[in-house]
Amino acid sequence: MYAIITEPVLSNPEAYGVIPPRAACSARQKFVVHDGSRSVVPILYISRNFSRWFLRNTETVTEVSAQPIPLEYRVLNRIALDDSIVPIVGTLDEMQVSLSTVYAFLVMYAKQAERNPASQVHLFYTPDSIGTVRAVYLCQSPQGFGVCADEVGYERPWQPGTIVYYPRQPVATQALSACA
């Protein structure tokens, strides 16, 4: 059980991160543990759940976007579960970010990691290879990233400072009053 705290779960929306489109490829080719070679993204660990849900099917291919994908993010102000995070932004459908966007984020963020070497958790709600939405989280350390996934609604508390990403919503649909 968690105490009810009056402080908002999420901060107000922050700057938009624009993710460049990526070429189509197999997720298994991109989400690989860094072996010391000059890989694009230093992935240190891939969880069993992530492997099972996103990498098992060799035909899983990242989606291709013709346009850059604007992301909005909010930072958790206190410990929260998925069921208290999602309603603030909208619905789980509105928060879905494709696996290709998660990978493009990794590439972009890895290039900027020298400027921000702090340990952080980046959270996305992403449909797996059969369409079930999963909580995909990237655990960033100064050495690289752990790539993990859990069921949405799993009783894992997300810690303050976790950064929650979702597609940028039109201003008219943003639930800002819930975060004020």
User: How confident is residue 179, by pLDDT bands cut at 50, 70 and 90?
Assistant: very low
User: How confident is residue 6, by pLDDT bands cut at 50, 70 and 90?
Assistant: very low
Which phi and psi angles does 114 have, rounded to 5°? Answer: -60, -30
Q: In percent, how much of the chain has pLDDT > 90?
A: 17
> Measured between alpha carbons, how far is 96 from 125 in angstroms, rounded to an integer?
5
> Measured between alpha carbons, how far is 174 from 180 in angstroms, rounded to an integer?
12
Find out whether 177 and 104 touch, Cβ atoms under 8 Å. Answer: no
User: How confident is residue 89, by pLDDT bands cut at 50, 70 and 90?
Assistant: confident
Tell me, letter by letter, the H, E, C secondary structure of the chain. Answer: CCCCCCCCCECCCCCCEEECCCCCCEHHHHCCCCCCCCCCCCEEEECHHHHHHHHCCCCCECCCCCCCEEEEEEEECCCECHHHHHHHHCCHHHHECCHHHHHHHHHHHHHHHHHCCCCEEEEEEEECCCCCEEEEEEEEECCEEEEEEEECCCCCCECCCCEEEEECCCHHHCCHHHHC
Identify residue 136 by its one-letter amino acid code.
V
Find out whether 30 and 105 touch, Cβ atoms under 8 Å. Answer: no
pLDDT tens-place string over residues 106-125: 887 777 755 565 678 889 99
